[in-house]
């Protein structure tokens, strides 16, 4: 009952309501882990499904993601000692020489919405910066975006430099599955929604 209300809240993006609804669930005795796994994350899974079916629009999805984030923040402090699925950590950036970031930003938002911890490195990210982040942050996955023929070349070099250190996923309008194979990236996704599925499959 209470879990259902939280799930609904995420689905409709009621970010002003979510904390109240979670408080009620906690008072009614719901376990924090249940709230996260069976209400918040399940809500976002449904949002992702609806988006793919074309039943939900991007701003609605982002509002839902925001709602889930607020919900997570409310429950997390109560989680000490309890087991939760560790969310993956992803560092993502647009490669060196490329300033296109609209698509990359959407991927960041969708990944965050799905519960990943995302480090957004911005645009014009050099090979060395990627390597440094891998060293310092130990991400589970690196995401690279490129929209130019010239920077796809740079993308190839960057993926090569990362080598086997960590898995890589790539995207951007002119990027293709074949290109991903060619440069040895672990995966390619054509859009931000598919990027979430890809990240899940690469990390878990």
Interface with ligand B12 by CB under 6 A: which residues?
92, 97-104, 106-107, 143-145, 147-149, 169-174, 189, 191-192, 195
Stretch that binds another protein, among 1-9, 14-22, 55-63, 162-170 (CB under 8 A): 55-63
57 Cβ contact list (under 8 Å, min separation 6): none
Dist. CA 88–CA 12, nearest whole Å: 25
Stretch that binds another protein, among 22-30, 35-43, 129-137, 145-153 (CB under 8 A): 145-153
Q: Is residue 99 a contact residue for another protein (CB under 8 A)?
A: yes
Residues 19-48 touching another protein, rule: CB under 8 A, are none
45-123-51 Cα angle (round to 5): 20
Find the shortest distance in angstroms from Cβ 105 to another protein. 8
Residues 20, 122, 163, 174: which binds another protein (CB under 8 A)?
A: 174
Find the shortest distance in angstroms from Cβ 199 to another protein. 17
Query: Rounded to 10 degrees, what is the CA torsion of 147, 153, 159, 161?
Result: -140
Find the shortest distance in angstroms from Cβ 17 to another protein. 23
Residue 181's Cβ-count burial label (10 Å; 0-12, 13-18, 19+) is exposed
Residue 80's Cβ-count burial label (10 Å; 0-12, 13-18, 19+) is exposed
Residues of the shown chain interacting with another protein in the complex, contacts defined by CB under 8 A: 51, 54, 57-59, 99, 102-103, 106, 148-150, 153, 173-174, 191-192
């Amino acid at each position: 009952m209470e879990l259902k209300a939280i799930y609904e809240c995420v689905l409709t993006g009621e970010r002003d309501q979510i904390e109240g609804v979670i408080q009620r669930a906690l008072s009614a005795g719901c376990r924090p882990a249940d709230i996260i796994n069976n209400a918040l994350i399940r809500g976002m899974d449904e949002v992702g499904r609806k988006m793919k079916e074309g039943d939900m629009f991007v701003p609605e999805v982002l509002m839902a993601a925001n709602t889930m984030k607020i919900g997570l923040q409310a429950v997390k402090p109560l989680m000490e000692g309890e087991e939760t699925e560790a969310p993956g950590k992803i560092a993502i950036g647009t490669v060196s020489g490329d300033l296109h970031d609209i698509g990359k930003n959407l991927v960041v938002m969708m990944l965050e919405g799905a519960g990943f911890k995302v480090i957004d490195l911005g645009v014009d990210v050099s090979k060395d910066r990627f390597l440094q982040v891998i060293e310092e942050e130990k991400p589970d996955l690196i995401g690279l975006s490129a929209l130019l023929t010239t920077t796809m070349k740079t993308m190839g070099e960057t993926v090569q430099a990362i080598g086997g250190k960590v898995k890589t996923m790539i995207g951007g309008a002119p990027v293709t599955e074949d290109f991903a194979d060619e440069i040895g990236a672990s995966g390619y996704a054509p859009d931000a929604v598919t990027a979430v599925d890809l990240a899940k499959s690469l990390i878990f």
